[in-house]
């Protein structure tokens, strides 16, 4: 939340909110204005709604069924737009960044939290092995949904490298674009200012 640099009264959009974890974290920060979480999965939104209600945050977070490629908001509607582990699944990375930048106010911040393709070297080789064998086998067995874990593995390995995401953000006119490597390069957080 600190990375977002949220100030009192600012409005936040959480794209591909899923079960609402990022929206809830924002809502637990004092002084934040309204938060809207969007997702195209009604099932995920039901889970998010239950979590939001159990955390007594229903007045602070609004949920909406919507597509990340067609955000139903006017230009310049939000101070912060976030997307956590959703850009991989949208597919059209550049177009979704365009939409998120469009709904940002001037000086608004775009935050992207996402898995990264395995890096080079021994760690990268072990990570690739983990994705292709252990994650698929264990995740599929435990959940009973092997396809979901196959998709997770292939969507991570096929995702653009960090320098490509930075390039997309800059091409959309975002400035001060930067990224920070987390968990040894398994995950990156990207930030840009409109």
pTM above 0.85, yes or no: yes
Give residue for tokens 């309204």: 34
Cα–Cα distance list, 71 to 83, 84, 102, 147 (Å)? 13, 16, 9, 28
Give whole-number Cα distances, 52 to 35, 138, 185, in Å.
12, 30, 31
Q: Which helix (H) or strand (E) holds 26?
A: helix 21-27
> For the sheet containing 104-115, what is the strand order?
61-65, 35-39, 12-15, 78-84, 104-115, 187-193, 175-182
Top-level CATH class of 2-116+159-193? alpha beta
State phi, psi for 115 to the nearest 5 degrees: -65, 155
CA–CA gap between residue 163 and residue 14 (Å, rounded): 23
Q: In 3-state terms, what secondary structure has residue 4?
A: helix
Unique residue bearing structure tokens 């099932």: 43
Phi, psi of 189 (to 5 degrees): -115, 130
Q: In the chain, what are the domain boundaries?
A: 2-116+159-193, 119-158
Residue of 159, 158, 136, 137 whose CA lies nearest to 149: 136
Render each residue's pLDDT in the chain as its tens digit; 194 residues.
667 888 888 999 999 999 999 999 999 987 788 999 999 999 999 999 999 999 999 999 999 999 999 999 999 999 999 999 999 989 899 999 999 999 999 999 999 999 888 777 776 666 666 666 656 555 555 555 555 556 666 777 778 999 999 999 999 999 999 999 988 788 999 999 99
């Amino acid at each position: 939340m600190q990375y977002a640099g949220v100030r009192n009264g600012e409005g936040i959009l959480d794209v591909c909110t899923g079960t609402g974890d990022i929206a809830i974290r924002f809502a637990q920060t004092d002084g934040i204005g309204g938060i809207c979480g969007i997702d195209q999965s009604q099932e995920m939104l039901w889970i998010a709604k239950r979590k939001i209600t159990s955390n007594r945050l229903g007045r602070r977070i609004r949920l909406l069924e919507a597509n990340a490629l067609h955000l139903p908001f006017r230009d310049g509607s939000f101070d912060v737009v976030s997307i956590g582990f959703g850009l991989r699944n949208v597919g059209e990375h550049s177009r979704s960044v365009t939409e998120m930048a469009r709904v940002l106010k001037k000086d608004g911040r775009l935050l992207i939290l996402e898995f990264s393709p395995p890096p080079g070297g021994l760690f990268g080789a072990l990570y690739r092995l983990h994705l292709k064998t252990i994650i698929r086998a264990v995740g599929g067995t435990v959940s009973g949904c092997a396809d979901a874990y196959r998709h997770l593995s292939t969507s991570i390995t096929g995702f653009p490298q960090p320098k490509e995401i930075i390039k997309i953000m800059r091409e959309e006119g975002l400035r001060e674009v930067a990224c920070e490597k987390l968990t040894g390069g398994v995950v990156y957080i990207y930030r840009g200012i409109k």
